[in-house]
A = this chain, B = another copy of it.
Amino acid sequence: MPIVKFVPQNKEIDVAAGTNLLKAADDAGLYIEGDCAGKGTCGKCRVKVIGGADEPPTTAESKLLSESELKAGWVLACQRNIEKDCTVEVPVQKDAHTRKTTLAGGVENLDVEPAVEKIAVKLNRPAVKDQTADLERLLAELEKGELHVKPRELAGFPSMLRKNSYSVTAAISGKRILSIEPGDTTEQLYGVAFDIGTTTIVGSLLDLKTASVIAVAAVTNPQNIYGADVISRITHASQAEDGLKQLQDKVIEAVNKIIHDLLRQTKIARDRIYEIIAVGNTTMSHLFMGIDPTYLAPAPFIPAYSKALEVEAAELGIRINPAGRVIFLPNIAGYVGSDTVGVILAAELDLPGDNCAAIDIGTNGELVLRANDKLMACSTAAGPAFEGAQIKQGMRAAAGAIETVSYINDGIELKMIDDAPACGICGSGLIDAASALLDAGLVEPSGRFVNPEENPDKIPAQFKDRLRRGNGGYEFVLVSGKESDTGEDIVISQGDLRELQLAKGAINAGLMILLKEADISENDLDRVLLAGAFGNYVRRESALGIGLLPQIPAEKIIAIGNAAGDGARMALASLTMRKRAFELSKTVKHMELSTRPDFQEFFVDALPFRKMQ
């Protein structure tokens, strides 16, 4: 069997001859970026075969890689099958998680009301005069009435009890003993809140005694090898043999990786984690629980379930205390998942208050509106453009991503994350770029580049060389190959602008529908909350500039950080918050947009880049 060695990660794997290189990398535990599920259209899975590739480039490679790259041995991993031993260089992934993890802990004061209680007891020694069984002896001392306990928790209990002079601690959740531990372990009471994003998974370790976040870790959702968006994943789950299992295995593996990282950071023992609360969109929750998501995809978009599901960690293969409870917060409807429940909880939208819209833009866009104390929510198929996917040189918000683009002093100024040499553009940079190009007069409100051949006088001299004809229409060069990290020009293409228009049009139209249903106008909005990393880093002026947000004063637009994750943390820290979350799936009114004729009108109306006055 051929052996593939991946450098610089230094991982080797034996594979059957003919194995796809992307799959081999995945089997070796390496995450390779990619948005197209191996179709050869996104060009992001580029790797370098040391010594060059045997076979000539495929059509996809010829299209997506430059001649010099091809010569140097670059290939698309998804296009290549392994026939013999080889060494493959995998570009080191820039850390795209820093921004998502540093956002965690946005809610500073969590209520302390954990679902798990720990009680330390010292039992009387048994004797012929008192032959009470060990468990019944413990139950009597706990004074909690009838408690359910599983054989697994009792397996080693008798010896442990005697080795520890009859001092033990019970971890109790409701009417269940989760764990019986030697000595007094009441100080060790932990849980993890997970935000299972389509693109990124973030976990926060909480000390449940104090409700404080003591560590945060994140990984790329490894399901991305099956596609960047939820529809690709649903398709894989429905159609591939064992597809559902593969997707579930991927997310559980990622969750275990995060837990491992959290334990490494804090030196806490694995078995002292007793609860996990997870949020995520509906597709993520189905895949996490291993439940068929097939009927989420076609109209009428029916999930298998909405309510919160609870399962033992051991049953899912999640490596915390085996009896630990894993609870995925409830879904609201087809594409409005528990991540939105988390946003509502974090922003306290389920309580009476002002007229407030919350927008969570990730790979999907979810909108919530509280108007006259009623709650409505909807989901828009924004697509993954804001995560940098489907964008020619799009990338996630990692070092070297162009994040701000300004039109200042008749010039275009750029700022890259970490001030690193540019290697692509992230979601907030894309919005900035569109806004700046509008300001510079290079893009028309319709979203089209000004045609430099028809209207040469409309193009300022300093941009004449930078607005040029590309493969699919005009494109604007943000960074020349001489200055970029990749050696290639970094451009905004006409296609990129179109992707952005579709995404912003969808979100904008969704919000308009909610306002219409609530019978209020955008002027009646007291606040617009932007949730998620994207919302945190996007420039409000640019978002307003391209018309992504309704035309309200910028000071009413407030970034609230990773609110979905905050909601998960709140539900983990407090039983009261958790109960509120459970109720939300019933009390939020869901608006299905996709089949409404007025949505199409709003959508078309919202496609142009409209600048606020």
Contact = CB atoms under 8 A, between A and B. Distances in A.
Interface of A: 126-128, 130-136, 148-152, 154-159, 162, 244, 289-292, 294-295, 299-307, 309-311, 315-316, 331, 333-334, 590, 592, 595
Given A128-B595, A150-B315, A158-B304, 7 more contacts: A126-B300, A130-B300, A131-B592, A150-B309, A154-B289, A154-B305, A154-B309
Contact of A304 (B157, B307, B590, B595): B157
A137 B349 CA distance: 27
A524 to B, nearest CB: 28
A304 B154 CA distance: 7
A302 B152 CA distance: 19
Given A151-B291, A155-B292, A292-B155, A131 B300 contact: yes
Contacts of A151: 289-291, 309, 311, 315-316
What 8 pairs across the A-B complex have the smallest Cβ distances? A135-B305, A151-B289, A133-B306, A133-B303, A128-B300, A126-B302, A158-B304, A154-B291
A102 to B, nearest CB: 32
A127 B295 CA distance: 12
A158 B306 contact: no
A388 to B, nearest CB: 31
Contacts of A158: 291-292, 294-295, 302, 304
26 contacts: A127-B300, A128-B299, A128-B595, A130-B300, A131-B334, A132-B302, A133-B303, A134-B302, A134-B304, A135-B307, A136-B305, A136-B306, A149-B305, A149-B309, A151-B289, A151-B290, A151-B291, A151-B316, A154-B289, A154-B304, A154-B309, A155-B291, A155-B292, A158-B291, A158-B294, A159-B294
Contact of A133 (B128, B244, B294, B304): B304
Given A159-B292, A315-B152, A134 B305 contact: yes
Contacts of A136: 305-307
A131 B290 contact: no
A155 B290 contact: yes
Contacts of A301: 131
Contacts of A126: 300, 302
Contacts of A149: 305, 309
Contacts of A148: 310
A127 B590 CA distance: 14
- Of residues A157, A291, A295, A331, which shows the largest number of chain B Cβ atoms within 10 Å of its Cβ? A291
A301 B592 CA distance: 65
A135 B595 CA distance: 23
A127 to B, nearest CB: 5
B590 A131 contact: yes
Nearest to A285: B151
Contacts of A133: 302-306, 331, 333
